[in-house]
Structure 1
Amino acid sequence: MNIPKSILSIFLMVVATTTFAQSSLTLHTDQAETQISKDIYGHFAEHLGRCIYGGIYVGEDSDIPNVRGFRDDVIGALINMHIPLLRWPGGCFADTYHWEDGIGPREERPSMVNTHWGGVTEDNSFGTHEFLDFCDLIKAEPYINLNVGSGTVREAAQWVEYVTSSNISPMTDLRKKNGREEPWDVKYWGIGNENWGCGGNMTPEYYADLYNRFASYCLGDLYRIAGGPNVDDYNWMEVLMQKTMRHPHLVQGVSLHNYTFTTAWEDKGHATEFGEKEWISVMNNTLKMETLVNRHSTIMDKYDPEKRVGLIVDEWGNWFNVEEGTNPGFLYQQNTLRDALVAGINLNIFNNHADRIHMANIAQTVNVLQSVILTKEDEMVLTPTYYVFKMYAVHQNAKLIPSNLKTEKYELDGKSVPAVHVSASTKDGVVSITLCNLNPNKSESIDINITGDDFSSVSGQIITSDNMNDFNDFGRQETVNLKSFDVAKPKDGKLTVELPSKSVVLVQLK
């Protein structure tokens, strides 16, 4: 058959300019059973740099608008982000912190030197009462980390009693004397932090025995969290599970810490000045969280096949070099669109492993590492990571939808990562799908097939920007935030979504 050249050229041009879906996602809404804990969306506030002082707490005499010394703007932003949980006081700081120094009249509290972070003087004006008051203000559950490295069993047990007991005792009398009549409802207690490193440089055998001892005297209906491994120290997890599960009533969770660097600890890279080579390196390193979760979960399954003990990823996020001219011990870094993608990927991973991951805490809430908020005097900036947490709040306490994803690869200089990363959930008749396009150069089209339900309406939100380095800064209009995103209505349980390059997208179906 002879096809006229004019028609053939038009056909070839249409083919060349048409984007065909190269990725596909099948969602099994009828199999949604596992609940995604809201606490996967937890945060972390350590006495480090300007996280607490200047970031959360400015004092009642400050000219910065505040409620009992806590910044108005930060309170409002965290409530709007739907923060569910906050971990405190550390981190490495926790194993140098003695809680009785942080109670009573502030003018009578002793000072200490923060040896881990900058060698600055800590005046202990933000202590137990202040932390729990702040959690009430932002409507978040508290998670307190006990001092095992330099503390005693008695000290830990008395802190638990001071906070949670309604009995008549010296500790409850002391709490009442300090202005709190009723106990607080504090469920989560970490017993030590990074005890393989800054928390005492212990062996797993020694720490596991020490954990059992501390946990035995921290009484009440508590969710006790053991100090778990550093990244891929699988031996630590093996020894810890083996020894603590001899007394299963004493352990409810095991922590895992993992940070993302550009290349490695020695080469953390720059937070804002990077190119595509650094972009894909960070994406590749971020995805290693999947391997860590899988391998640590496999070890936990040997000793806890019912998945009663939670894997608690209570420190995660990007760790880059500090901003030029800032105290290197304060770990202050900017936050770009790249950080938004990293947050989205990690949260998708945590969602998809909700049967084992009961909590996660990004490091840290304000002014430190991959923070959701930056402050400078009376100014506040919401980072791209903030908007990811606000977008993903739809997954909190929703049911995980099992899914099958087929995706193209994004490749550069011998590195290869999936172009698309996904998790999905259902709650109150709404299906929420969060999708990350890791490719900074090219949009990705994805066909979504949904089994088990019919939907008549669809809506969307997106986080993206013109440049991979874009960030929000003081004194200028926001560059990276949440915007509405148009999605075609589903037809017969199917829809196609065009994901712009370097974007995080939420699609919701009713």
Structure 2
Amino acid sequence: MKKYFVLYCLLLALASQSTFGQSQAKLSLQPGTPQLTINKHIYGNFAEHLGKCIYGGFYVGENNTKIPHTNGVRNDVVAALKKLKIPNLRWPGGCFADTYHWKDGIGPKDKRPAIVNRWWGGVTEDNSFGTHDFLNMCELIGTEPYLAANVGSGTVAELTDWVQYVNFDGVSPMSKLRAENGREKPWKVKFWGVGNEAWGCGGNMKPEHYANIYRQYATFMADSPGQPLYKIASGASSSDYNWTEVLMRDIPHNMVSGLALHHYSVIDWNKKGPATGFSEETYFRTMKSALFMEELITKHTAIMDKYDPQKRVDLIVDEWGGWYDVEPGTNPGFLYQQNTMRDAMIAGATLNIFHKHCDRVRMANLAQSINVLQAVILTNEEKMILTPTYHVLEMYNVHQDATLLPLELQTVDYTFGTDKLPAISASASKDKNGVIHISLVNIDPKKAQDITLTLDGKATAVTGRILASATMTDHNTFENPEKIKPAAFKGAQLKGNNLQVKLPACSVVVLELK
């Protein structure tokens, strides 16, 4: 009898799972909630003079005969970023911004002074890619420029001249100089970062000191007629909540549009681990760091709400992404790393967090666009590949400027040893045509998940796309550039006002409901 009882218990346990080891999770759309918009600007990118992001990434030079380009900017990169619909692009840094003097990068290229990039590899560059090159490139891509100003080693006059140079449409010394350099009409740049990481490479300042410096610089930055500048203060590093407290207390809110936050998914700054060939323990720890973004935003938002309950000051996460050891044999200062399905998990889960907090998070910048950190594009001479991160951002861009549909999620856990993380991440939105999109991420690298989604009303059709691969370490290479790419998803089925989804292990899915 005991033998049959044990067999019964085993069958009961197996019945609670599918043959593929799927677990149960529940998701429901919450009707009657406030109407919030997922700002498209949380899909921004970041391009620093770092490694081969600019030179060899975006820019190959006007005289290059091997790679098709427009005024030195790669045509394939422009096309890829257009498809990605990046809404803004941050430049020239990063740490580089606070050693960059913009006047070195204008005028005839053969007369521009060289500069040593002291932050990233100690390389010498010729300043051939400067203000005109960047802003004209943004026009090619169809994205808004986000300029990071030099506060660490620059001057107030230098910044005010830059604002006038790119924005002033009347008669002035800087608009005259701009015209002499080939651009009659201004670019009308809206987004301006007033320094970068002032707590670190931007000056090692205390928050009280930076708050005063910010007030000084912001005072002399002139708005364009009919277009006020969007000024972004150098905000906290990860969980430095005191930095946010001081800036929200000491900077008048009518002087600042946004407050930055930087957080990287890194397991240990002294031993980051490889970008490929990593263990499940390393994967778990990286995902734990990535999901910490939820707590960071919640706590920084609580501080901001205390001083700004009307939410007039935005939270700008203008550096985020995975950070690992550089690829073997590459310059340690170039931060070149491969991009795997782990990075797809980071991207999908992080964007879902941004969506959830879109009442305060209204802009963000993935670090970085090309050949650096969690890049969306990798290049090698004339070759170019799209990374898993690229594909997630492309699949997710249906959420840009759509109305948030809040979700209630009951997820199962992804466990490793005695630690655990929520296995499923999700977000939903309705676009201007009334189409609902739901993004789902299963970070568990071994177990698929069964999800029951309760809808607010009935849908007539469901389609979807999936990004998945055999293992979490899989990645695209120049030899096999399409190993990982989106495919049609057939694992969703409508049953009345319920949607049944079978979500494979280590996958990202975006569903469309009509």
Instruction: Give the alignment's TM-score, normalised by structure 2.
Output: 0.95
- Residue 263 (structure 2) aligns with: 258
> What is the one-letter code of the residue matched to 1:86?
L
**How has the CA–CA distance of structure 1 residues 403 and 10 changed in structure 2, closer, same or farther, with 3 Å as cutoff?**
closer
Q: Which moved more, 1:18-27 or 1:497-506?
A: 18-27
- Residue 458 (structure 1) aligns with: 462
Partners in 2 of 1:277 and 1:21 — Cα distance? 21
2:250 to 243, 265, 269: 243
Where do 1:461-500 residues align within 5 Å? 461-500=465-504
Please report how far the alpha carbon of residue 285 of structure 1 lies from its aligned counterpart in structure 2 after TM superposition: 1.1
> What is the one-letter code of the residue matched to 2:30?
H
Q: Deviations over 1:54-87 (max 9, x none)?
A: 0000011112111111001111111111111100
Please report how far the alpha carbon of residue 414 of structure 1 lies from its aligned counterpart in structure 2 after TM superposition: 1.9
Structure 1 unaligned segments of length 5 or more: list them.
none
Partners in 1 of 2:400 and 2:441 — Cα distance? 18
Please report how far the alpha carbon of residue 28 of structure 1 lies from its aligned counterpart in structure 2 after TM superposition: 2.2
- Residue 34 (structure 1) aligns with: 36
* Conservation of the 8 A alpha-carbon contact between 2:169 and 2:175: yes
- Residue 357 (structure 2) aligns with: 353
- Residue 267 (structure 1) aligns with: 271
1:22 to 3, 21, 24: 24
Partners in 2 of 1:407 and 1:16 — Cα distance? 16
Please report how far the alpha carbon of residue 490 of structure 1 lies from its aligned counterpart in structure 2 after TM superposition: 2.2
1:363 to 353, 367, 381: 367
* Conservation of the 8 A alpha-carbon contact between 1:420 and 1:437: yes
- Residue 501 (structure 1) aligns with: 505
- Residue 442 (structure 2) aligns with: 437
- Residue 229 (structure 1) aligns with: 236
Q: Sequence identity of aligned pairs in percent?
A: 52
Where do 1:15-414 residues align within 5 Å? 15=15, 18=18, 22-31=24-33, 33-62=35-64, 63-220=66-223, 221-244=228-251, 247-261=252-266, 263-414=267-418
* Conservation of the 8 A alpha-carbon contact between 1:40 and 1:357: yes
* Conservation of the 8 A alpha-carbon contact between 2:386 and 2:481: no
Q: Deviations over 1:474-506 (max 9, x none)?
A: 122421111110144423321110100000111
Partners in 2 of 1:317 and 1:109 — Cα distance? 33
Partners in 1 of 2:61 and 2:464 — Cα distance? 40
**How has the CA–CA distance of structure 1 residues 445 and 197 changed in structure 2, closer, same or farther, with 3 Å as cutoff?**
same
- Give the match's secondary structure for 1:185: coil
Please report how far the alpha carbon of residue 465 of structure 1 lies from its aligned counterpart in structure 2 after TM superposition: 0.2
> What is the one-letter code of the residue matched to 1:495?
L
* Conservation of the 8 A alpha-carbon contact between 1:456 and 1:489: no
Structure 2 unaligned segments of length 5 or more: list them.
none
- Give the match's secondary structure for 1:31: coil
- Residue 426 (structure 1) aligns with: 430
> What is the one-letter code of the residue matched to 2:239?
D
Count the aligned residue pairs. 501
* Conservation of the 8 A alpha-carbon contact between 1:32 and 1:402: no
Partners in 1 of 2:168 and 2:10 — Cα distance? 78
* Conservation of the 8 A alpha-carbon contact between 2:493 and 2:500: no
Q: Deviations over 1:91-147 (max 9, x none)?
A: 000000000011111111111100000011121111110001110111111100000
Q: Which moved more, 1:475-484 or 1:46-55?
A: 475-484
Please report how far the alpha carbon of residue 12 of structure 1 lies from its aligned counterpart in structure 2 after TM superposition: 6.2
Partners in 2 of 1:400 and 1:237 — Cα distance? 26
Partners in 2 of 1:14 and 1:438 — Cα distance? 23
* Conservation of the 8 A alpha-carbon contact between 1:32 and 1:399: no
* Conservation of the 8 A alpha-carbon contact between 2:491 and 2:503: no
* Conservation of the 8 A alpha-carbon contact between 1:21 and 1:447: no
Q: Deviations over 1:253-312 (max 9, x none)?
A: 000000111x22112110001121111111111110111100000000011101111100
**How has the CA–CA distance of structure 1 residues 9 and 149 changed in structure 2, closer, same or farther, with 3 Å as cutoff?**
closer
* Conservation of the 8 A alpha-carbon contact between 1:284 and 1:415: no
> What is the one-letter code of the residue matched to 1:174?
L
* Conservation of the 8 A alpha-carbon contact between 1:32 and 1:401: no
* Conservation of the 8 A alpha-carbon contact between 2:238 and 2:262: yes
Please report how far the alpha carbon of residue 185 of structure 1 lies from its aligned counterpart in structure 2 after TM superposition: 2.1
* Conservation of the 8 A alpha-carbon contact between 2:294 and 2:353: yes
* Conservation of the 8 A alpha-carbon contact between 2:105 and 2:129: yes
* Conservation of the 8 A alpha-carbon contact between 2:138 and 2:145: yes
- Residue 419 (structure 2) aligns with: 415
Partners in 2 of 1:9 and 1:234 — Cα distance? 50
**How has the CA–CA distance of structure 1 residues 25 and 154 changed in structure 2, closer, same or farther, with 3 Å as cutoff?**
same
> What is the one-letter code of the residue matched to 1:117?
W
Q: Which moved more, 1:42-51 or 1:278-287?
A: 278-287
**How has the CA–CA distance of structure 1 residues 488 and 383 changed in structure 2, closer, same or farther, with 3 Å as cutoff?**
closer
Partners in 2 of 1:185 and 1:257 — Cα distance? 26
* Conservation of the 8 A alpha-carbon contact between 2:465 and 2:509: yes
Q: Deviations over 1:4-43 (max 9, x none)?
A: 99xx999869826637762101112553610011000000
Please report how far the alpha carbon of residue 454 of structure 1 lies from its aligned counterpart in structure 2 after TM superposition: 2.7
> What is the one-letter code of the residue matched to 1:378?
E
- Give the match's secondary structure for 1:22: strand
Partners in 2 of 1:31 and 1:426 — Cα distance? 13
* Conservation of the 8 A alpha-carbon contact between 2:316 and 2:361: yes
> What is the one-letter code of the residue matched to 2:363?
M
Instruction: Give the alignment's TM-score, normalised by structure 1.
Output: 0.96
- Give the match's secondary structure for 1:479: coil
Partners in 2 of 1:155 and 1:203 — Cα distance? 23
> What is the one-letter code of the residue matched to 1:272?
T
* Conservation of the 8 A alpha-carbon contact between 1:281 and 1:415: no
